Amino acid sequence: MTIRYESQKVALPYIQLSLLLFVLQIAMGLWLAVNYAFTLPQWLVDAFSFATARAIHTNLLVAWLLLGFMGGAYFILPVECERELFSTKLAYLQLGLFALAAVTAVVGFLFGWTQGKPLLEIPVPLDLVIVVAALIFIANVLLTVIGAKRRSVIQWMLVGGVVFLALLYLLGIPFYRSLNADYYYWWWVIHLWVEGAWELITASIVAFVVLQVTGVERQVVEKWLYLETGLFLFTGIVGTGHHYYWIGSPDYWLWWGGIFSALEPIPIALMVVDTWLHVRNRRNTMVNRLTWIYIIGLAIYHFLGAGVWGFIHTLPPVNYYTHGSQITVSHGHMAFFGAYALLNLTVFYYALPQFKGIRRYQEKLGQWGFWTMAVSMFFLCLVFGVAGILQTYLERFLDIGYSTAQMTMMFWFKAALFFGAIFLAGAVMTVYHLFTLRPAPKATA
Amino acid sequence: MTKKTAKSIFWVGTLMSAGIFIWLTVDFHRQEPAYANTDRITDQVVAGKKVWHKYNCNDCHTILGFGGYYAPDMTKAYYRLGPNNIIAIVMEPEKVYKGSFRKMPRLGVTRREAEDLVEFLRWVADIENRGWPPQDEKYVRAARLREKEPHKLQKLDIVLGACGGCHSFENQGRDIAGDFGDIAKETRYNRDTLVRYILDPASVNPDSGMPPQNVSRETAELIADFVLGLR
Ligand SMILES: [Fe+2]
């Protein structure tokens, strides 16, 4: 199987850069775990603080996920629209701008150039570069879709998700005089991204890949797509309220936020069901087992991390105790890995063999990579969860001070470092495998 | 279900949720002054917020529970630590946390910036946020009572409310500067010296890392009696 449209090739550098940033992100995560697990000397803390490392860790996360989404979109749009992309030059220009902004941002963080807002540390001048890159992307996608030979729900859902994503980013740029309002709108970016716009993009991309791989009927896939994205937005928009319990806001947020966010797992559960149904009713034979494993793994992990873990943690009476603790860390890691890291890797496993014209690839190393990542991430989140329960219990039930509680948790931070290192090994295997895909020997085909 | 039904579910669901959310947002802004005391956001509070951003404090500390979990939550820090302690910590973290298992970087914060930061944290601490974080409510209560009705306070409340940001006692408070049980055993100060020490540590021991405390002479005496009473 080879790529069908010449312009799909622009996706390749997006995917490659995305994978490199993924590995760097994990490496930086390990450094954060070292900060937690050991006492570092003052000079080292002065030179490279936890705050700087965390800014790099989280920004690399956002960068590699967005690069993956954009590369993924450029890869699937020609097929979905049955035409070449509107412009490959614009796509390369956009990638250049985006990479420039990302590199400058990371170097800037090292020298203390920051907007000082978690996850949105990138300073305003660089925000503007990103906005330009985003506008180019939207224009390119939109013009491709407008001239499509075929109309589909997947196209428009993807366009909707991308435009929504870009608009929300703007709310993180201005300076707010009130911290209360600052965080009110900070969540319009963060929550409405991961529980809104990004879910639209995920659902459309998954729908496309499932459609292509399983060969089930388009009408069925698109029906599910409408239903799921509808429920994602219905529960997710008002569900933003689960972040407003403790910021200084009217009491009704406990109800609106609590109830709507309790419904948020439903569309994710539906995604598990429809993926399962489509895989069971597939018309195509299973060519690459690993690609299928990723599709199913994505559905299940998405449900576990974002759905179940999110559900428990955002109930107001629970959240009162677990908010702002290592529990959030546990939930965050599993949700981002389950929903978005696996999404990107699924798309990469779908796309990359096509660049090399490989129908069936050797998958052994990739299998090792997947299972190493999946299992170590599960334990990593378990360890963070134990640390979080301990923290909550010590600080908020036994009334023991922060430092004493943290010292008691240090064993679990060391365990997190251990599982993080295994995860890094899994990620390196996966990335190496993706970079060096080889056709499987014919005999075993 | 047909695709058409699914499409209607998409539009109805999305628009309904967006409508509710926008309505709630309008109401949030209407009620914000009451919950966040927006009338008390002075220029100095804003300057302090800029200091908070400038040094990227929020990637180690949470505030309102958001941010990094590497260091304590700052929502009620004004009541937990008091102005002098905050200033001492941000200006000379290497001294305050010399013996600590976790360090804070030397950021080069100026005195002016530290004072602005205190004003910002004071405004934040008064946001009506349903008493979150739970573990800091005791400091808020103690600080408010200390100002208004000191007679209603238990001795332990006063001591932990004033000192618990750095000292511990029977597992309460933060142990970065020593436990009162140990301090009581080791101290060679008499009552007068201890009171002077609490009010201005450097005047008694120039090497002390402890900042001057924002407490009245009476409270300082009460704390001294408490500590010496543990011997
Ligand atoms: Fe959320």
Distance from first CA to last CA of chain B, Å, rounded?
Answer: 78
At A158 the pLDDT is 96
Which pTM value belongs to this model?
A: 0.93
Ordered by start, the domain boundaries in chain A are 6-444
* Out of A41, A49, A399, closest to residue B135 by CB: A399
pLDDT at A129 over 80: yes
Could you tell me the CATH number of the domain that includes residue B107?
A: 1.10.760.10
Ligand 1 centroid vs A442 CA: distance in angstroms?
Answer: 48
Mean pLDDT, rounded, for A408-426 = 97
- Give Cβ neighbours of residue A38 (< 8 Å, ≥ 6 apart): none
**Mean predicted confidence (pLDDT) in A161-189:** 96
Determine the average pLDDT of the residues in B127-156: 83
Span of A343-347, A400-404, B11-15 with lowest mean pLDDT: A400-404
Domain hosting residue B19, numbered range: 3-36
Q: Is the pLDDT of residue A443 over 60?
A: no
- The pLDDT of residue B153 is 67
Question: CB–CB of A122/A172 below 8 Å?
Answer: no
Given phi > 0 = left and psi -120 to 50 = alpha, else beta, which region is A352?
A: alpha
Sign of the dihedral defined by the CA atoms of residues A105, A107, A113, A117, in that order: positive
Question: What is the radius of gyration, based on Cα positions, of chain B?
Answer: 22
Helix segments in A281-408, DSSP class H:
289-302, 309-314, 316-322, 326-335, 342-355, 364-391, 402-408
Whether residue B227 is found in the same domain as residue B143: yes
| Yes or no, beta carbons of A238 and B133 under 8 Å apart | no
Q: B156-214 pLDDT, tens per residue?
A: 777 777 787 778 887 777 677 888 888 888 888 999 999 999 999 989 988 887 888 88
Q: Are residues B120 and B182 in the same domain?
A: no
Number of separate domains in chain B: 3
B169 DSSP β-pair partners: B172
**How many CA atoms lie within 13 Å of B59's alpha carbon, on the beta-carbon side?**
29
pLDDT (0 to 100) of residue B96? 84
Whole-number Å distance between alpha carbons of A210 and A279 = 8
pLDDT in tens, B43-75: 999 999 999 999 999 999 999 999 999 999 999
- Is 80 exceeded by the pLDDT of residue B147? no
Note whether B73 and B122 are same-domain residues.
yes
In A333-392, the residues whose Cβ lies within 8 Å of chain B are none
Cis peptide upstream of residue A118 (ω within 30 degrees of 0)? no
Nearest to B65 among A45, A52, A246 (CB): A246
- Same domain? For B166 and B199 the reply is yes
Report d(CA A7, CA B136) in Å as an integer.
Answer: 58
Under 8 Å between Cβ of A36 and A82 = no
**What tokens does B137 get?**
């409510």
d(CA A77, CA A5): 10
| Percent of chain A scoring above 90 in pLDDT | 95
Instruction: Give the model confidence (pLDDT) of B17-28 as tens digits.
Output: 999 999 999 999
CB interface of A with B, residues 140-159, below 8 Å: none
Task: Please report the beta strands in B141-220, taking only residues with DSSP state E, as ranges in sequence order.
Answer: 168-169, 172-173
pLDDT number for residue A401: 84
Chain A segment 237-276 residues within 8 A of B by beta carbon are 237-238, 240-241, 243-250, 252-253, 256, 260
Q: Which of B115, B98, B102, B111 is nearest to B177 (CA)?
A: B98
Q: Is B23 near chain A, with CB under 8 Å?
A: no
The pLDDT confidence band at residue B151, using thresholds 50, 70 and 90, is low
Average pLDDT over residues A65-73: 97
Query: Alpha-carbon distance A1 to A287, whole Å?
Result: 11
Are A331 and A307 in contact by the 8 Å Cβ rule? The answer is no
User: Which residues line ion ligand 1, judged by CB < 5 Å?
Assistant: A 191, 195
User: Which of B96, B127, B158 lies at the terminal end of a domain, its last residue?
Assistant: B127
d(CA A394, CA A205): 43
A7 pLDDT band, cuts 50/70/90, is very high
- pLDDT tens by residue, A14-34: 999 999 999 999 999 999 999
What is the C-alpha to C-alpha distance for residues B161 and B163, in angstroms, rounded to an integer?
6
- pLDDT for the residue numbered B98: 85
Neighbouring C-beta atoms of residue A169, cutoff 10 Å = 19
Which candidate from B50, B56, B100 shows the least CB-CB separation from A55? B56
Query: d(Cα A224, Cα A203) in Å, to the nearest integer?
Result: 9
Which chain B residues are Cβ-neighbours of A249 within 8 angstroms? 28, 31, 35, 129
Name, in order, each residue with C-beta under 8 angstroms of B148's C-beta and a sequence gap of 6 or more: none
Query: Could you give the CA distance from residue A366 to residue A295 in angstroms, rounded to a whole number?
Result: 14
Phi, psi of A361 (to 5 degrees): -105, 160
What is the tens place of the pLDDT at every residue in B65-124? Answer: 999 999 999 999 999 988 888 998 999 899 888 888 999 999 999 999 999 999 999 999
- Write down the mean pLDDT value for chain A: 95
pLDDT in tens, A302-333: 999 999 999 999 999 999 999 999 999 999 99
User: Where does a domain end: B84, B110, B127?
Assistant: B127
Q: Which residues contact B160 (CB under 8 A, 6 or more apart)?
A: B138, B139, B142, B169, B172, B173
Measure Cα distances from A429 to A343, A372, A380, B104 in Å: 17, 9, 18, 36
Q: Which of A186, A177, A159, A180 is closest to A69 using CA atoms?
A: A159
- Alpha-carbon distance of A50 to A413, in angstroms, equals 14
Q: Are residues B143 and B114 in the same domain?
A: no
Q: Which CATH superfamily is domain A6-444 in?
A: Cytochrome c oxidase-like, subunit I domain (1.20.210.10)
Supply B128's token pair: 């009506």
- Burial-class residue A279 by CB neighbours within 10 Å (0-12, 13-18, 19+): middle
Q: What is the pLDDT of residue B145?
A: 78
Residue A105's region, left for phi above 0, alpha for psi from -120 to 50, else beta, is alpha
Q: Rounded to whole angstroms, how far apart are CA atoms A172 and A122?
A: 10
B93 contacts B105 by C-beta, under 8 angstroms: yes
DSSP state of B208: -
What is the b/e burial string over B193-220, where b = at least 16 CB atoms within 10 angstroms of the residue's CB? Answer: ebbbbbbebeebeeeebbbbbebeeebb
- Among chain B residues, the shortest Cα distance to A252 is held by B24
What is residue A121's predicted lDDT score, i.e. its pLDDT? 96
Q: Is the pLDDT of residue A445 over 50?
A: no
B72 shares contact with chain A (CB less than 8 Å): yes
